[in-house]
Each structure stands twice: as structure tokens, then as C-alpha cells.
Amino acid sequence: MITVADVKNDEEVKAIMFMAESQIEALGFTEHSVRHSSIVSKWAGDILEQIGIKDRRMELARIAGYLHDIGNSVNREDHAQSGAILAYKILTRMGMEYREAAAIMMAIGNHDENQGLPVSEITAALIIADKADVHKSRVRSNVTLMRTDNLGNLNIHDRVNLAAEKSVVLVDNETKEILLKIVIDTEKCPVMDYFEIYFKRMQLCRRAADFLGWKFVLIINDVRFL
């Protein structure tokens, strides 16, 4: 069976992911490279494992997490849909069983908040893992070199990510809660800026957790939201 390790070592995947990040960088967006994909891959698998789904779906979630942004190699617009088709073709070429490849295709095609919905356990885990990755390491190096007093000139995505000192996804089996804990430096960015760009994404995370039969909780600087 195809594993996430097989996918990471595939030369076609490497080439497409390189091109995807090249386009994202040219457009001036925050990092969407191997770093982000690897984190989303791990968290998506961990979420399913920790809520008790320890079968093949856990590995499929990891694969979906790693490939979820390859559509950026085509165009940022509708990247979830183009990435879904690319992933299906790559995985079936690698020898993955058609149903498994289709499950990953569906998850990737639904991970974006503009068109996506949690339609499977794999999709739900991918949605939460993807939206949870907010961190200063995603900001381009030329931005991080700017003085703090110039941060007001940055776009809001860079400001929010640069202010995010830590983000982590946790699962509380006693309360059946999936927790996203974020630490934000409010001297760099007010918490309201986070909600301005992430509120729709957090709503989708809540729907994803509901699909899994769990509750989604956002915690920013030790304050519970949602």
C-alpha cells in the first residue's frame, strides 16, 4: 500500500511541490512549502489517531495533508480542485487503489474554506490540520527582517502569522474536544486581526469537528473562543 513516505520520495511530487511554492512566493503569499505540508500531514493523521480512527484512513489523511496544496502549481485560484485532480492522477500512477486515491481527491478538493465542506473523516482532519498552521515561520525572510514598528505596513496575513509564536492541535478525549491553541504577540498584532482573516476558517473547523462527532475549541493566549 502507498504510504506518505512513498509520496514524499516521488520525483513528480517533488517537482510539482517545488513549482507550487515558487508560484506562491511570486504572488507574495505566506509559505506553503514542504514545511507546511509536512505539518498538516502529521496533524491530520494525529487527529484521526487520537480520536480513535487508527485504520488505513489515518495514513490516507497524512497523504492528503502532504499533497493538499499542490494545486498552487496550476493557479492559486481554485487550487483545491486542481490539486485534487493532480493528486488522484499521481497516486493512481504510483499504484494506489482507485477508491483510496478518490478518497484523497475528495478531501483535497474540500479543504479550502471558500468551497469546502467536511464530507469524510479524512476531509475533516485535513481541514482542521490545514487551518491550524498559523506561525511566524510561515512569513517570508524578507518580511521578518523588517523592524517591528513597520509591521503596520504589512498585509494582514503576514502580520498575523508573524505575531503567532506558537500553534498546536490537541485532542482531549475526556471532553471530546479538538483544541487549537495559539499564542499571539499582541504587540505585533491584535487578536481581532486573527479573526478578521481566520473566522471563516474557524467556522469550517467547527463543522469538521462536528462531522467527527467532536467539539472544536479555539484557545488564543489561554482564552477560549468558539
Per-residue pLDDT tens digits for 119-152: 999 999 999 999 999 878 778 655 544 444 555 5
Cell 478578521: give the residue.
Answer: 196
User: What is the pLDDT at residue 145?
Assistant: 44
- Give the mean pLDDT of 170-195: 94
- Give the mean pLDDT of 88-106: 98
pLDDT interval class at 13 (50, 70, 90) = very high
The residue that leads in pLDDT, 178 or 160, is: 178
- CATH, range 4-225: 1.10.3210
- Give the mean pLDDT of 2-10: 98
Per-residue pLDDT tens digits for 14-25: 999 999 999 988
The domain spans of the chain are 4-225
β-bridge partners, 177: 172, 215
- Give the mean pLDDT of 144-161: 63
> In whole numbers, what is the pLDDT of the chain averaged over residues?
92
User: What is the pLDDT at residue 30?
Assistant: 79
Per-residue pLDDT tens digits for 59-85: 999 999 999 999 999 999 999 999 999
Q: How far is CA 84 from CA 23, 74, 210, in A?
A: 18, 12, 23
pTM of the model: 0.91
Contact yes or no for 151/173 (Cβ under 8 A)? no
pLDDT interval class at 153 (50, 70, 90) = low
